[in-house]
Structure 1
Amino acid sequence: MPNKTLEGTAIRHGAGGHRLLPRTIAISMLLAVVTLSPLLDAQGIAPSSRRNKNSRIAPDVKHAARSITGREAMEHLRWLADDLREGRLAGSTGASDSAEYIAMRFEEIGVSPAGDNGSWFHNFTIPGRDGVRGSIEKGNRIRLMVSDKATREILLNFRQEFLPHPRSADVDVAAICAFMLDPLETWADRERDPVVGRFAVLPVEQKISDEDLELYCENLKARGAMGLMLVGESCRPSPSEVWPPEDAQDLFVLPVIRVHGAGIAKIWKISGRPLSSWKRQSSDEGAVVMGRPYVVMEVRRDGRDMSLGRNVVGRMPGTDPDLRDEYIVVGAHYDHVGRGKSPGLSRGGASGEIHNGADDNASGVAALLEVAEAYALNRLKTRRTLLFVAFDAEELGLYGSTAFVADGGFDSGSIAGMVNMDMISRNQKRVVKVGRRASDEPLGRIIYEMARLLELEIDETGMDAVLQRSDQAPFLKKGIPSVFFFGGFHEDYHKPTDDVEDVIPVKLQNVARLAFLTSWGLSQMPAQEDEESESADSDR
């Protein structure tokens, strides 16, 4: 959540941490239960069995809600809030890696991509960042993994373990590797050529001239290779080499990376075999597919463009022919404040200290992934289409959600509701702070009914003051019924101390389940004309 003064927004509860609902709210809830039978039927809630709290929700919906657990959510949270993400500042490598992680999890769950051109990502420009570039070191990375599904990675250190060749082309690509001894060999059957779509790995025992490298690259490019990785001490750059060079001309047709020092051992270790073994096989067979490492290669001579923002968007289609073109958005922002160097974002800590943002908002994203999984793995059929959106650049000014509402590929008039989760893993386990418009009465009835079924307490105290401070705000401006689920402020807000050890898994689980059931209720709401017809019939 963007950093503003906390004055006037403290949570206030009665004795024992619980407060009684005001009489007017209690009466409204009683009336709602009496009049909500059609709505509850549509949501999978059985009015006739409300006395038995274990049968209030249809079995498949109840099972899906219970599949959301704090234990599983914590696995996502720990990855997102690891020091390796460096605080996930929008535009940074940590934010980019987080976006890739979320997309990978969506794909594993079985959600469909709904970003630009059928991808997972809705790209936008972060206002005020035009021309801003990150450091050369952060813009050039080699990451080694055992497969494209792996969440653990081995990093090669820029300069100490690898350096792009001065004439290397820029690239941002990932692929597995093919080992070779002769980069000029030919392969008669292109479809079976091991280097097609892969990085060529060439052990280097003596210096290679630029002229030879140019020939290697042209041949490998023609064969369909993605790049060339030179491995060996003979390709170590001189200590005086400046990268990127100011006068580089005639770039190679492929990216060329030089791996040296401790990076050499990392390559062969993750490959699962020593260099001598690969050499023996390649001597007999020519180029061979290594399988691993799976390499993610980024070469940017000018550093990373910090103006690029990315929302991650997944979709689960609705099944009602009349309502499936309406959307319910379930969202959470994945960015945080990085190392706290951006003006106004950090509230404490030493200069440059990593702000991991475990509660703000790794917790919301972990819940988002759990909610998406609950729908997909339990094969729930919703009337409306669900959109699962991880927003970028919330901390800088709600830029990701604003861009999504403006040009995310979905007409705002077709969005029937929005559920946002931000900072949901701290403070009292069974109390959920809720921000919404009082005029969104059907949404309010769903929230209170679902909270009652989960035996959670809803607290709306002071939430009007923060209703415009998270990603529900751009949706509210378009008149879309939206709810902000919030765990409450705490002393670690926007500080380096907002870390994993203070997260309350049960609180995270409780809010995630409430968000799931609320989104389910919204997805199953009758069409507006049906509701009006039922209301007219009841007045006769």
Structure 2
Amino acid sequence: MKKSLLLGVAFAIVTSCGTSSKSSAKTTQNNIPEQIDPSVYASTITSAELKTMLYKYASDEFEGRDTGAKGQKMAIEYLKQKYIDMDIPTPLGGNDYFQEVPLEKQKIAEIKMNVNGKTFENFKDIIVLSNSKSITISASKIIYVGYGIDDENYSDYKNIDVTGKIVLAKSGEPKDNNGNYITTGESTDTKWSNGYKSLSNKTDVAKKRGAQAILFIDDDLFSKYAPFYQRQSAGNIARRLSLKSNEKDILILMINETLGKALHTSISEESTPKEIETNVTLEIENKSDAITSENVVAFIKGSEKPDEIVVLSAHLDHEGIKNGEIYNGADDDGSGTVAILEIAQAFKAAEKAGHGPKRSILFLHVTGEEKGLLGSRHYTDNDPIFPLVNTVANLNIDMIGRTDPERTIGTRNYIYLIGSDRLSTDLHNISEEVNNTYTNLELDYKFNAENDPNRFYFRSDHYNFAKNNIPVIFYFNGTHDDYHKPSDTPDKIEYDLLENRAKLVFYTAWEVANRDQRLVVDKAVTE
């Protein structure tokens, strides 16, 4: 980046108009409000610098930046050096820009199960869906929880304590005499009815209730999962990366009806929850490997409200190398990564000129997004560097360097915004106002609908902040033919658009960080 440009704007102050000027005003010695024009600092964000950085960051040298792999380690060193060169410190102290993210490369676990002296076999009768360690469990009682539902209109957990116990739940959901589901009174499937979604929700209930393990009976799912798990085990294949949590884990097992009836003979006919006396022994061998990846963090301390934090995020990882081909990930999410660097440069220029943000800015480059939003989930769920209650907003950038070929109406100078109005009217209004004042992009809310079939709101790192009622905006250009392919290369980036979009994020962050009042969360989700 051009250090000479930073020095050139260090003392530039001009009069501005619009919402940002009002909230950014500081007082001179004569108590006359000094108006600060953020466009002076936004001018440090240039397509030329974005292009230079992205051609490096999305080059073959970085080997696709696969989580935990050599290329990802090179990427974090690159980002660290950029922040050192800009003289932007780390919030972790010293020279430590890396927040370690403990991960596990999960492989299929081995299990032996004995019920009242009878042995049941792995893959034939039972499979381990999730476990965090090798463990042996012996119990003389289990808790049958019927369908395992805990809903406002119906609960299988009334008057039953499952803390530290093994629970047994079956698939499906009860219906009333009219053939409608009890939880909703409607005939359409619910989150409790069938399939993996049902398993996930019933597991969440058992975990919240303090169960040690859940045995889930679903013959249909078992017949589909068991052969796949057996093949993965035979090949010693790592199934997926998972995040090690500070929370106590729950052992999740799927079983067939044969094993289910061995545990409770009347399981097909009876749905009444009860304690069942039965001698059960489980021996589980965890074959997974621990690995470590890293988030990269840098920080500009606020001048007036340093304990209030605005988080700017982008994911640093991509798909790595597959079948000998490098997945460079120039748009996904090299574009967001270099945009954050340029935005950081702009805020640093303002700070050097004596116009640092009132609130603190955390520049957060997260790992493992492609593996399930792992780096951002570690930040919010396991190790928030700053308390979430002090986090004012998260502006998340994931793919802002291309155009959506499916978008046939409107100008090319657009950006999809997702989530801006989900939690805070303030944030949505600020976003609109700064765009009208400075950038004049076409703000497209196509994917912001709650019924968006693509579910983009849940598919990038902002979601881990949003689920904690922190206002978010997700900046996105949409997918294209090169999405998650080796052909997502830096020569296909439209750098003028990347510059404009990065400036919009900067202006929005500037206003959020400098306004007198913290954003109001007027649409908080309670669940």
Match 1:391 to one of 355, 366, 389: 366
2:339 maps to 1:367: yes
Partner residue of 1:460?
445
Provide the C-alpha distance between the structure 2 equivalents of 1:479 and 1:373, rounded to a whole number of angstroms.
29
Per-residue deviation, residues 226-266 of structure 1 (Å, max 9, x unmatched): xxxxxxxxxxxxxxxxxxxxxxxxxxxxxxxxxxxxxxxxx
CA contact (8 A) 1:91 1:306 kept: no
| Structure-2 residue corresponding to 1:512 | 502
Aligned to 1:438: 422
Q: Report the residue type matching 1:433 in the other structure.
A: Y
TM-score by length of 1: 0.53
1:126 Cα deviation after fit? 2.0
2:98 and 2:423 map into 1 onto residues whose CA distance is 33
Change (3 A) 1:129 1:376: farther
Work out which of the residue numbers 312, 316, 326 in structure 2 matches 1:330: 312
Letter aligned with residue 443 of structure 1? L
Asked if the contact 2:392–2:519 (Cα under 8 Å) also holds between the matched residues in 1, the reply is no
| Pair 1:41-2:22 in alignment | yes
Letter in 2 for 1:317: K
2:329 is matched with which residue: 357, 362, 384?
A: 357
Kindly indicate whether residue 299 of structure 2 is the aligned counterpart of residue 315 of structure 1: yes
Aligned to 1:173: none
Give yes or no for the alignment of 1:400 onto 2:390. Answer: no
**Deviations along 1:283-323, whole A, 9 cap, x unmatched?**
xxxxxxxxxxxxxxxxxxxxxx8721100000000011xx2
Say whether the 8 Å CA contact 1:44–1:58 is kept in structure 2: yes
Amino acid at match of 2:103: I
Aligned match of 1:527 in 514, 517, 520?
A: 517
Tell me, what secondary structure is at the counterpart of 1:395?
A: helix
Task: Report the count of equivalent residues.
Answer: 302
Structure 1 Cα separation of the partners of residues 93 and 379 of structure 2: 11
The CA distance in 2 between the partners of 1:502 and 1:529, in whole Å, is: 37
> Is 2:403 the counterpart of 1:418?
no
Distance 1:37 1:367, change over 3 A: closer
Structure 2, unmatched stretches of 5+, are 1-16, 27-33, 109-288, 404-410, 450-454, 523-527
Q: Is the 2:313–2:394 contact (alpha carbons within 8 Å) kept by the matching residues of 1? A: yes
What secondary structure does 1:311 align onto? strand
Q: CA RMSD in A?
A: 2.8
* C-alpha separation in 2, matches of 1:126 and 1:388: 22
Match of 2:385 among 384, 399, 409: 409
Q: What are the superposed Cα offsets for residues 474-495 of structure 1, whole Å, 9 maximum, x if unpaired? A: 0001100111011111111000
1:414 CA drift (Å) = 0.8
> Quick one: distance in 2 between partners of 1:61 and 1:398?
32
Q: Which runs of 5+ in 1 are unaligned?
A: 1-35, 46-56, 132-304, 341-350, 533-540
What amino acid is aligned across from residue 522 of structure 1 in structure 2? V
The 2-side partners of 1:404 and 1:130 are apart by 25
Counterparts in 2 of 1:462 and 1:352: CA distance versus 1, 3 Å: same
Residue identity opposite 2:87 in structure 1: G
Q: Superposed, which structure 2 residues align to 1:61-76 within 5 Å? A: 61-76=38-53
Q: Tell me the TM-score normalised to structure 2 length.
A: 0.54
Structure 1 stretch 478-487 or stretch 114-123: which is displaced more?
A: 114-123
Residues 470-513 of structure 1: CA deviation (Å, up to 9, x unaligned): 11010001100111011111111000111111100011101100
Please say if residues 104 and 290 of structure 2, whose CA atoms lie closer than 8 Å, have aligned partners that are also in contact.
no
Q: Partners in 2 of 1:37 and 1:68 — Cα distance?
A: 21
Distance 1:417 1:508, change over 3 A: same
Supply the AA of the counterpart residue of 2:391: I
Instruction: Check whether the contact 1:371–1:512 (CA below 8 A) recurs between aligned residues.
Output: yes
Q: Sort the Cα spacing of 1:522 and 1:127 in 2 relative to 1 into closer, same or farther, 3 A.
A: farther
In 1, Cα distance between the equivalents of 2:306 and 2:331? 33
Letter in 2 for 1:499: T
- CA shift, 1:352, in A, is 2.6
The correspondence for 2:465, drawn from 471, 475, 479, is: 475
- Tell me if structure 2 keeps the 8 A contact 1:115–1:408: no
Q: Secondary structure at the match of 1:339?
A: strand
Q: Relative to structure 1, is the Cα distance of residues 417 and 113 closer, same or farther in structure 2, using a 3 angstrom cutoff?
A: same
**Whole-Å separation in 1 of the counterparts to 2:396 and 2:507:** 13
Work out whether residues 357 and 498 of structure 1, in 8 Å CA contact, stay in contact via their aligned partners in 2: yes
CA contact (8 A) 1:367 1:508 kept: yes
After superposition, the Cα gap between the structure-2 partners of 1:129 and 1:521, relative to the gap in structure 1 and judged at 3 Å, is farther
Deviation at 1:339, TM superposition (A): 1.4
Q: CA deviation at 1:529?
A: 10
Q: How does 1:35-434 map to 2 (within 5 A)?
A: 41-43=22-24, 60-115=37-92, 119-129=96-106, 307-320=291-304, 323-340=305-322, 351-379=323-351, 380-406=355-381, 407-427=383-403, 429-434=412-417
Report if aligned partners of 1:422, 1:470 keep a CA contact under 8 Å in 2.
Answer: yes
Q: Which amino acid aligns with 2:346?
A: A
Rate the CA distance shift 1:422–1:87 in 2: closer, same or farther, 3 A: same
Residues 103 and 130 of structure 1: is their aligned pair in 2 closer, same or farther, counting only changes over 3 Å?
farther
Q: Using a 3 Å threshold, how does the CA distance of structure 1 residues 333 and 306 change in structure 2: closer, same or farther? A: farther
1:390, distance to aligned residue in structure 2 (A)? 0.7
Q: Which has the higher helix share?
A: 1
Tell me, in whole angstroms, the C-alpha distance in 2 between the residues paired with 1:422 and 1:530. Answer: 25
Q: Is the 8 A contact 2:332 2:399 kept in 1?
A: yes
Aligned to 2:176: none
Taking the aligned partners of 1:531 and 1:400, their CA distance within structure 2 comes to: 25
C-alpha contact (below 8 Å) 1:123/1:310 kept by paired residues: yes
Distance (Å, rounded) in 1 between the aligned partners of 2:45 and 2:350: 11
Per-residue deviation at 1:38?
7.5
Cα 1:369–1:38 change in 2 (3 A) is closer
- The amino acid across from 1:424 in the alignment is I
Determine if contact 2:64/2:327 at 8 Å carries over to the other structure. Answer: yes
Structure 2 counterpart of 1:455, one-letter code: N
**Cα gap change, 1:97/1:529 in structure 2, threshold over 3 Å: closer, same or farther?**
closer
Which residue type is aligned with residue 520 of structure 1?
A: W
Q: 1:531 & 1:60 partners in 2: Cα distance?
A: 27
Letter in 1 for 2:358: R
Amino acid at match of 2:79: I
> SS of 1:378's equivalent?
helix
Shift of 1:117: 7.2
For the residues of structure 1 that align with 2:68 and 2:415, how far apart are their CA atoms? Answer: 31
Structure 2 vs 1, CA of residues 429 and 37 (structure 1 numbering), >3 Å: closer, same or farther?
closer
Q: Aligned equivalents of 1:367 and 1:438: distance in 2? A: 24
CA offset digits 1:36-71 (Å, max 9, x no partner): 9877511459xxxxxxxxxxx955411111110111
Letter in 1 for 2:461: D
C-alpha spacing 1:306/1:69, structure 2 compared with 1 (3 Å): farther
- The one-letter code of the counterpart of 1:459 is D
Task: Give the Cα–Cα distance (whole angstroms) in 2 for the partners of residues 389 and 107 of structure 1.
Answer: 15
1:502 corresponds in structure 2 to 492
Cα offset for 1:462? 1.9
Query: 1:529 and 1:90 mapped to 2: Cα distance?
Result: 34
Q: Do the aligned partners of 2:392 and 2:518 also contact (CA within 8 Å) in 1?
A: no
